[in-house]
């Protein structure tokens, strides 16, 4: 079942063109964060969807297909589950906007493959320091639900929270989506006014 909003969210960003060099969109599962980030990214002449998901089962396949179905022919898609920094550097361009969906899935991939988390996050942050074009990153806000009951889940939540904080420091704009409504937490247009 898919629920469509009856009215537009009141805290959507203005329709003025352009994107900040780095934008972070946070939210919980099914909060509307990906759809909101897609609308932001469509401000660019050439939107690029950088997908981080690896499909390990049918449920994930269906989830990925729902995301694909939302995108029209304007989008180009890159799939990169591990080397996110390299993919951003290859895809970013002044006329393009890169949408990374999503950081927490990417973090899970790194853990699954036994990658060096500190090196991968460091490379990501370096790629966001001065991207060749706008980058919009989606990430799950995992810290709102309480402390997980096992060590692996706690470690993941801790690393996801640290990752979100580090990317938020790089981002000029940060949004939180709840129930399909996006609220600006950090807004470069207001700071520049």
As annotated, the active-site residues are 67
* Whole-number Cα distances in Å, 39 to 7, 15, 17, 89, 95: 15, 10, 12, 22, 16
Distance of CA 130 to the CA centre of its chain: 17
The sheet that has 22-27: what strands, in order across it? 76-79, 46-51, 96-101, 135-140, 22-27, 173-178, 181-186
């Amino acid at each position: 079942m898919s629920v469509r909003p009856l009215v537009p969210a009141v805290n959507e960003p203005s329709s003025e063109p352009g994107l900040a060099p780095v934008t972070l969109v946070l939210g919980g599962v099914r909060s509307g964060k990906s759809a909101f980030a897609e609308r932001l990214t469509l401000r660019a002449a050439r939107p690029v969807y950088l997908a981080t998901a690896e499909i390990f089962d049918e449920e994930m396949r269906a989830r990925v297909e729902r995301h694909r179905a939302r995108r029209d022919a304007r989008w180009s898609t890159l799939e990169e589950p591990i080397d996110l920094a390299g993919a951003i550097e290859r895809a970013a361009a002044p006329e393009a906007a890169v949408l990374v969906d999503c950081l927490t899935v990417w973090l899970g991939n790194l853990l699954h493959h036994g990658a060096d988390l500190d090196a991968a996050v460091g490379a990501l942050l370096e790629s966001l320091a001065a991207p060749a074009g706008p980058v919009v990153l989606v990430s799950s806000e995992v810290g709102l639900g309480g402390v997980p009951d096992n060590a692996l889940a706690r470690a993941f939540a801790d690393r996801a929270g640290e990752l979100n904080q580090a990317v938020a420091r790089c981002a000029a704009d940060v949004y939180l989506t709840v129930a399909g409504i996006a609220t600006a937490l950090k807004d470069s247009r207001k700071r520049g006014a």
